[in-house]
Amino acid sequence: GAVVSQHPSWVICKSGTSVKIECRSLDFQATTMFWYRQFPKQSLMLMATSNEGSKATYEQGVEKDKFLINHASLTLSTLTVTSAHPEDSSFYICSASDQGRDWRGYTFGSGTRLTVV
Amino acid sequence: ELKVEQNPLFLSMQEGKNYTIYCNYSTTSDRLYWYRQDPGKSLESLFVLLSNGAVKQEGRLMASLDTKARLSTLHITAAVHDLSATYFCAVDDSYGGSQGNLIFGKGTKLSVKP
């Protein structure tokens, strides 16, 4: 089945630094990938939709200059949290779907737990 | 704006009992998903429901979709401890086939006790 690989699984960084999270579709091409954020004991909230070869679409309230998304190939999307602050600490999850097969829904990456100290 | 309401948010069950989790959504959609999340982990896909009247079963879990009522249910039969997790329903906010974004319910934290 469709596999989405996400790295790193966890990262601790200092306030003011930047962190890059990678999301790869391993056995299919993904023209669109989605980035979600999940705070403890809460549901997932969509942050942005990553489109291959074009600008990402951000949800209301998400700062595009803070959360930089790059989707340079059909198998890779990256999310960079710039000038991270403790309030950015969260669980970040990407997802994608394999449009080439019978519709089987969305596959999620394993998530990245970001802690900003 | 599509809204997804899930209930109950917390569910404590005894092993061997049956229960149902409900997922209501506010606007037309023909794609609904159920996911399981274990603590500290990402989402595991359980069911993909694509049409009115769809019913799918996997082990002790059965999911159904009524698009006219905008309601999906996740039924748990003879619960076992291993089913303890948080269950999310999610609705695709596109309609008619185009790929859209998922709107998640708040999740149901299920605890199955001996």
- Rounded CA-CA distance A82/A60 in Å is 18
CB A4 within 8 A of CB A71: no
In this predicted structure, what is the pLDDT of residue B69? 94
3-state helix, strand, coil in chain A (%, to 5): 5, 50, 45
Q: Residue A47: closest CA among chain B residues belongs to which residue?
A: B101
In this predicted structure, what is the pLDDT of residue B99? 59
- pLDDT confidence band for A31 (50 / 70 / 90): confident
Interval A62-69 mean pLDDT: 95
- Tens digits of residue pLDDT in B7-32: 999 999 999 999 999 999 998 877 89
Residue with tokens 């996740």: B74
**B75: three-class secondary structure by DSSP:** strand
What average pLDDT does chain A have?
A: 92
C-alpha angle A81/B88/B2, rounded to 5°?
80
- Rounded CA-CA distance A45/A35 in Å is 9
In angstroms, what separates the C-alpha of A97 from chain B's closest C-alpha? 9
Q: Check whether A39 has a pLDDT greater than 90.
A: yes
- Rounded CA-CA distance A100/A76 in Å is 17
The pair of structure tokens assigned to A43 is 């549901």
Contacts of B90 (CB under 8 A, 6+ apart): A44, B4, B32, B33, B34, B35, B102, B103, B104, B105
- Rounded CA-CA distance B105/A108 in Å is 16
- Tens digits of residue pLDDT in B29-70: 778 999 999 999 999 999 999 888 899 999 999 999 999 999
Interval A101-106 mean pLDDT: 69
In this predicted structure, what is the pLDDT of residue A101? 59
Residue A105 is nearest to which of B33, B103, B107, comparing CB atoms? B33
CB A55 within 8 A of CB A68: no
Residue of B6, B43, B44, B94 to mutate when probing chain A, most A C-beta within 10 A: B43
In this predicted structure, what is the pLDDT of residue A40? 92
In this predicted structure, what is the pLDDT of residue A54? 87
Select the more confidently predicted residue: B28 or A109. Answer: A109
- Return the closest-CA partner of residue B110 out of B25, B49, B56, B35: B35
Select the more confidently predicted residue: A88 or B99. Answer: A88
- Rounded CA-CA distance B41/B29 in Å is 28
Q: Check whether B97 has a pLDDT greater than 60.
A: no
